Amino acid sequence: MSVLAQTRQDALNLFEKLGLPTQRDEDWKYTDASRLKDLLQPTPTDANIHIKDMGITGLDAYRMVFINGLFAEAESNLPEGVSILSLAELEKNSVGEDAEGIAKLFTVDTQAPLLNGFNAFNAAKASDGAVIILADNAILTKPLYILHISNQSNVVRHSFMIGKHAEAQVIEHFISTDDTKALSNTCSFVALKAEARLEHTRIQQEGSKQSHVARVQVKQCKGSSYQFHGVEIGGILSRTDLVVNLHGEGASCDLNGLFVLGGRQHVDHHTRIDHKAPHCTSRELYRTVLDGRSHGVFNGKVMVHEDAIKTDSNMSNGNILLSKHAEIDTKPELEIYNDDVKCAHGATIGQLDDKQLFYLRSRGISAETAQELLTFAFADEVLVAMSNQTVRSYVEKAAFAKLPHSDDLEEMLGS
Amino acid sequence: MLEVKDLHVSVEGKKILKGLSLTINAGEVHAIMGPNGAGKSTLSNVIAGRDGYEITSGTITYKGDDLLEMSPEERAWAGVFLAFQYPVEIPGVNNTYLLKAGVNAKRKHQGLEELDAFDFMKTVKEKAKLVELDPSFLSRSVNEGFSGGEKKRNEIFQMAVLDPALALLDETDSGLDIDALRIVAGGVNKLRSKDKAIVMITHYQRLLDYIEPDFVHVLADGVIQKTGDKSLAVALEEHGYDWVKENK
Ligand SMILES: Nc1ncnc2c1ncn2[C@@H]1O[C@H](COP(=O)(O)OP(=O)(O)OP(=O)(O)O)[C@@H](O)[C@H]1O
Ligand SMILES: [Mg+2]
C-alpha cells in the first residue's frame, strides 16, 4: 500500500475507533451528532448544478468552486504564479517523494484538542479541497473566494500554508442548491509561518435541512497574525471546532463569530486557543441573535501555558434571545499556568439595553424599530473587523434579512 | 402647553416627587434648579415617558392630551424632546440614521411625506453648523466615544433637527466648556419662538445669563418650593437651597 493510501486507511481506522461523538462527551453535551450518522458518506456527483450567479456577486476575488465536494475547474479563476491546487488533483498525480508530502495533508494529529470522529472521517474520505501554498513574502493581491455548493453530502479538506511575511485573505462560503438533507464535513488547516498574515472568513449559509461539521485548525509561528470571521446563518445543525495554537512568540489571533438563527436551527462553536509562547495576543468576540426555537452553543476555552508569559487574552460573548423558546448555552473557560498574564473573559445573555431603547424611542423611533435597530447594531459589531466591504454587506443583508423589517440597512448601521 | 398637576412619583418604593405642579405655556422659557437628588431628572424622564417610574397620582396634560397615556415615541411625535443629562452611547447605530428615522416617523405620524435624502442632509448640515458640531460626528455611532461635552452638543444638535415644541434640557450646560456653552446657548436661543417652550434644568446661574428664562423654579423635597424670575437664581447662588426652604 502507498504511503498515501496507508495514511488514509489509518484515518479510517481512527474513525472506527473514535466513532461519532455522543452527548455523554462533555464537548458534545448540547449537540446530537447521532442525527448525522446516516449522512456521513459523501456522494460526490456534480448533480447538474448550474452555478451561474451563485454566491457573493460583485466580489473582486480569485475564485475556486467546489460542487458537492469536487473542484469545478471550469467555474474557477485562479491567479498565475501562486500555488492554489486541488487536493484531489495532487493526490492523483502523487508519486515518489511528493507522495509523502501529500500524505501529510491527510495525517490526523491525534493530540490536537477537540479532535473527533468527524475529523478522522474527513481525512479518510475527503474527496477534494483547496491547497494553498503561498511562498515567503508573497502577497495574494485579491482575496481567494472558495465557494462550496452542494445538494449532497460532501467531504472537503483544505490546507492553507502561508509563508514568512506572506499575506492572504480567504473566504469560504457554503451554500446549497436545494433543501436536501445532507452533511458537509469540512476541515481547514492553516499554517502561518513567521510574520505571516491570514484573514479567514467562513460563511455557513446552507439549505434548511443541511448539516455542517467543521474543523478549523491553526498553527501560528512567531509574529504571525490570524483573523477569523465565522458567520452562521444557514443549515439546521452546524458545529465548528476552531483550534488555534499560538506557537511562536508574539503571534496574535482575532476570532469573530456571529450566529443569526431562527426556526429550529442549532449551531455550536467550540473554540480553543492555546497560548504556548510569550507575548501572544488573542481576541475573541462571539455574538448570537437567536429567534424561534433556535439553539446556540458557544464554548470558548483559552489555555495559557507555563512559558506563555505576557499573554494578553480577551474573550467576550454576547447573546440576545428574541424569543422565549430560543436557547443559548455559553461557557467561556480560562486555564492559566503562569502569573504574568492579562486575561479577561465574559459572557452576557440578555435582552436589549433599556436605556438605549428609551433613547431611541424618545427620538421618535417606534418600540419595534428601536428593538430591531439595536439588534442589528449588536450583531453588526462583530462584522466591523471584516476588511472586505463586499463580503460584509453581503453577510449583513443575508443575516439581517432573517429578522423582521430589515430595510434601510446600510444607512441604519453606523461605522 | 404643559400642565403638571399634583404629580406623585416613586422609584422602587421611594417617593421622589410629592405633589409637584407646574404650568408651562407656549413661548416661555423655564429654569428648574434644585439640590442633587431632588427629582429634577425624574420629572423630565416622566415627561418624556421613560418607564420604571411609578406614578401614584397626579396628571400631566400636554396640548390638551393626557401625556401619561402616550408612549415615548408618541410624545416625540407630538413635539416633546428631552436632552438627556447622561446621553447613552449606542454603538453601531448611525447618528444621522437615527435622526432621519426620527424625523420621518414624526412626519409619517403627521401625514406628511418622508423627507427626501437631499433635503434631509441639507437640514442636518445646517443644524450641525448651528451648534458647531464637526460634520464627522454625523457618520459616527450615536454618542460612541464622544467626550462629555460632545455628547451634550450632540443632544442640542438632535433637538435642532427634530424641532420640538417642548424641549426639556437636563443639565445640558454641565460639562460644557465656556465656548461650547455659548454655542449651545446660541442654538437654544435660535429655537425660541412664540409657539415653543423650553425647560432648562441647571445648577448654574451662568447658563441663565445666556438663555434668559421667564421663570425660575426651585425643586426640593419633591415639590416646587419657590418660583421667581431670573433674580431668584442670583439669590440662590448667594444663599443656597436652605434659604429657599426657610423663606417659602
Ligand atoms: N432607577 C432608580 N432606582 C433607585 N433610585 C432612583 C432611581 N432613579 C432615581 N432614583 C433616586 O431618585 C432621586 C432623584 O433622582 P433624580 O435623578 O431625579 O435627581 P436630580 O434632581 O436630577 O439630581 P441631580 O441634580 O444630581 O441630577 C435620587 O435620590 C435618586 O437616587
Ligand atoms: Mg439629574
Indicate whether B15 pLDDT > 80: yes
Strand-by-strand arrangement of the A266-275 sheet: A83-86, A130-134, A154-162, A183-192, A211-220, A237-246, A266-275, A295-304, A327-336
The closest of B113, B102, B110 to A364, measured between CA atoms, is B102
pLDDT tier at A412, thresholds 50, 70, 90: low
Residue A316 forms contact with B (CB below 8 Å):
no
Compute the mean pLDDT over every residue in chain B, rounded to the nearest whole number. Answer: 91
Chains A, B: CB contacts within 8 A come to: 101
| Cβ of B103 below 6 Å from ligand 1 | no
Helix A389-400 / helix A367-383 crossing angle, nearest 10 deg: 140
Q: Which band of pLDDT confidence, cut at 50, 70 and 90, is reported for residue A407?
A: low
Residue ranges of alpha helices (H) inside chain B are 40-48, 72-77, 95-109, 117-130, 148-162, 178-191, 205-210, 230-239, 241-246
Handedness of CA B23, B24, B26, B27 (dihedral sign): positive
Q: What is the pLDDT of residues B45-82, one digit of tens each?
A: 999 999 999 999 999 999 999 999 999 999 999 999 99
Angle, CA A33 vertex, CA A27 and CA A34 arms, to 5°: 135
- pLDDT higher for B154 or B239? B154
Query: Which of A352, A357, A359, A408 is the best substitution to test chain B (most B C-beta atoms within 10 A)?
Result: A359
Q: How far is the CA of B215 from the centre of ligand 1 (A)?
A: 23
pLDDT (tens digit per residue) in A18-58: 999 999 999 999 999 999 999 999 876 656 677 778 999 99
Centre of ligand 1 to C-alpha B39, Å, is 6
Do residue B97 and residue A381 have CB atoms under 8 angstroms apart? Answer: no
Cβ separation A361–B82 shorter than 8 A:
no
CA distance B33 to chain A (A): 23
Mutation choice for A interface testing from B93, B144, B162 by most A CBs within 10 A: B93
Tell me: pLDDT of A413 over 80: no
Chain B neighbors of A361, CB-CB under 8 A: 49, 71-73, 76
Q: How far is A358 from chain B (nearest CA, A)?
A: 6
With CB atoms and an 8 Å threshold, state whether A412 touches B101: yes
B11 CB near ligand 1 (under 6 Å): yes
Which residue among B42, B172, B203 is best mutated to probe the pocket of ligand 1, counting the most ligand atoms within 8 A of its Cβ? B42
pLDDT value of position A163: 97
CB contact under 8 A, A358 and B50: yes
Residues in B closer than 8 angstroms to A374, CB to CB, are 90, 93
Residues A158 and A174 sit within 8 Å (Cβ to Cβ) = no
Q: Which amino acid is at A388?
A: N
Burial class (CB in 10 A: 0-12, 13-18, 19+), A244: buried
Nearest to A149 by CA among A56, A242, A220, A269: A56
Residue B129 in grid coordinates: 453648523
Q: How far is ligand 1, taken at its centre, from the CA of residue B38, in Å? A: 7
Confidence of residue A81 (pLDDT cuts 50, 70, 90): confident
In this structure, are residues B80 and B164 in contact, taking their beta carbons and an 8 Å threshold? yes
So what's the pLDDT on residue A405? 59
Q: Which amino acid, one-letter code, is at B38?
A: A
Determine whether the interchain pair A411/B97 forms a contact, defined as Cβ–Cβ distance below 8 Å. Answer: yes
Nearest CA among A116, A104, A277 for reference residue A191: A104
Q: Is the CB of B37 under 6 A from ligand 1?
A: yes
Q: Which residue type sits at A211? A: S
| Ligand 1 touching residue B12 (CB < 6 A) | yes
Q: Does A160 touch chain B (CB under 8 A)?
A: no
Is any ligand 1 atom within 6 A of the Cβ of residue B40? Answer: yes
**Shortest CA gap A285–chain B (Å):** 15
Q: Tens digits of per-residue pLDDT, A113-149? A: 999 999 999 999 999 999 999 999 999 999 999 999 9
Question: Does the pLDDT value for residue A411 go beyond 60?
Answer: no
Question: CB atoms < 10 A from the CB of A381, how many?
Answer: 19
Q: How confident is the model at residue A369 (pLDDT cuts 50, 70, 90)?
A: confident
Note whether A96 contacts B: Cβ–Cβ < 8 A. no
B69 CB within 6 A, ligand 1:
no
CATH architecture of B2-246: 3-Layer(aba) Sandwich (3.40)
pTM over 0.95: no
Output the CA B104–ligand 1 centroid distance in Å.
33
Q: Return residues with CB closer than 5 A to ligand 2 (ion).
A: B 40-41, 85
CA B32, distance to chain mean position in Å, is 11
Q: How do B65-66 and B54-62 pair as beta strands?
A: antiparallel
Test A408 with B97 for CB contact under 8 angstroms. yes
Encode pLDDT of A165-219 as tens digits. 999 999 999 999 988 999 999 999 999 999 999 999 999 999 999 999 999 999 9
On the question of pLDDT at A409 being above 60, the answer is no
Provide the pLDDT for residue A415: 42
> Which residue of B lies nearest to A359 if distances are taken between CA atoms?
B88
Closest-CA residue to A126 (of A156, A152, A90, A86): A156
Per DSSP (E only), the strands in A163-291 are 167-176, 183-192, 197-205, 211-220, 225-232, 237-246, 252-261, 266-275, 281-290
Return mean pLDDT, chain A. 93
**pLDDT digit string (tens) for A86-120?**
999 998 887 776 788 899 999 999 999 999 999 99
CB contact (8 A) between residue A359 and residue B158: no
B40 C-alpha to center of ligand 2: Å? Answer: 5
The side-by-side arrangement of strands in the sheet containing B65-66 is B14-24, B2-11, B54-62, B65-66
Rounded alpha-carbon distances, angstroms, from residue A336 to A274, A279, A304, A310, B62: 10, 14, 5, 12, 60
Ligand 2 centre from B36 Cα, in Å? Answer: 7
Mutation probe of ligand 1 site: the residue of B8, B40, B169 with most atoms within 8 A of C-beta: B40
CB contact under 8 A, A414 and B52: no
CB B16 near ligand 1, within 6 Å: yes
Name which of A362, A373, A412 is nearest B82 (Cβ-Cβ): A362
User: Which chain B residue lies closest to A379 (C-alpha atoms)?
Assistant: B92
Q: Determine the distance separating the centroid of ligand 2 and the alpha carbon of A75, expressed in angstroms.
A: 64
Mean pLDDT calculated for residue range A312-323: 94
Q: What share of chain A is helix, strand, coil (3-state, %, to 5)?
A: 25, 40, 35
Domain borders along chain B are 2-246
Task: Tell me the ipTM for this assembly.
Answer: 0.95
How much is the pLDDT for A414? 46
